[in-house]
Amino acid sequence: MNYTRNWTKKVRQNFGPLKDRLPRPLRLLEIGVWEGRSALWMLDNLGPAEYIGIDPWDIAFLDQKKFPPTEEGRAKGRAIEELARANLAPLANARLIKGSSQIVLVDPQYADIFRPESFGFVYIDGMHTYAAVMADACNVWPLVQVGGVVVWDDCITRCNKEGRNIIQKAADNFMLGKPHEVLFRGAQFGVMKQ
Ligand SMILES: C[S@@+](CC[C@H](N)C(=O)[O-])C[C@H]1O[C@@H](n2cnc3c(N)ncnc32)[C@H](O)[C@@H]1O
């Protein structure tokens, strides 16, 4: 496997203890794949029957300082997608969908994949604006089985244009009035649907 970044510490700490509580057979959805490191960890350690990962792999969605709109920046962006595809290629139960989750999840061409109440675990680690987090939450919640888990990453953040901890705020607002158990709350926010 080849990687450039390691964001799996929180994944290992928070997801590992959930393994025996997840619905089986387990369908797993990840929004924001990058080069597939968290995907590989989940595939190795949570035992899903199926993994679906969504990512646009487009520098327009990445930090412009690190991925400028130049030939070099675009090549760096393409390399991330190639790593993800190479890392996940050996796994027959892993499928990658290239696109923005706000579009892919409501695109009728994928209706067979995104069936109501068919996922036991959803990891939301894609676009980090309030509106995108809210749209992802609205689109994935109906896809999650009762007893299934949704996790948001990067819930504690410094102040950006939208304020502090914007993902946590969006997730909290989304969860108002929905029956759920809070599994963990901190850098990641995890809930089980009830
Ligand atoms: C922090 S990285 C994901 C890291 C990965 N989950 C891991 O832990 O190894 C964020 C990813 O979200 C993707 N992303 C950005 N906007 C997105 C969107 N609208 N839909 C889906 N993914 C998006 C980026 O392309 C990037 O690969």
Residue 3 C-alpha to ligand 1 middle, in angstroms? 14
Can you tell me the distance from the alpha carbon of 137 to that of 135, in angstroms, rounded to the nearest whole number? 5
Which tokens is 26 given? 């387990």
Residue 87 lies in a domain: yes
Residue 2 lies in a domain: no
For the stretch 56-90, pLDDT in tens is 999 999 999 999 999 999 999 999 999 999 999 99
Residue 4 lies in a domain: no
The answer to whether 118 touches 23, Cβ cutoff 8 Å, is no
Q: Cα torsion at 32, 38, 44, 49 (round to 10°)?
A: -20
Can you tell me the distance from the alpha carbon of 122 to that of 180, in angstroms, rounded to the nearest whole number? 14
Supply φ then ψ for residue 20, to 5 degrees.
Answer: -80, -5
| Residues flanking ligand 1, CB < 6 Å | 7, 31-34, 37-38, 54-57, 61-62, 100-102, 125-127, 132
For the stretch 140-160, pLDDT in tens is 999 999 999 999 999 998 877
Residue 1 lies in a domain: no
pTM above 0.85, yes or no: yes
Can you tell me the distance from the alpha carbon of 141 to that of 155, in angstroms, rounded to the nearest whole number? 18
What is the mean pLDDT of the segment spanning 7-22? 95
* 163 pLDDT tier (thresholds 50, 70, 90): confident
Residue 50 lies in a domain: yes
Strands 119-124 and 50-55: unpaired
Strand partners, 163: 160
Task: Please count the structural domains in the chain.
Answer: 1
- pLDDT of 162 reads 85
* 108 pLDDT tier (thresholds 50, 70, 90): very high
Q: What is the CATH number of the domain that holds 152?
A: 3.40.50.150
Instruction: Give the 3-state secondary structure of residue 96.
Output: strand
- Domain extent at residue 21: 9-193
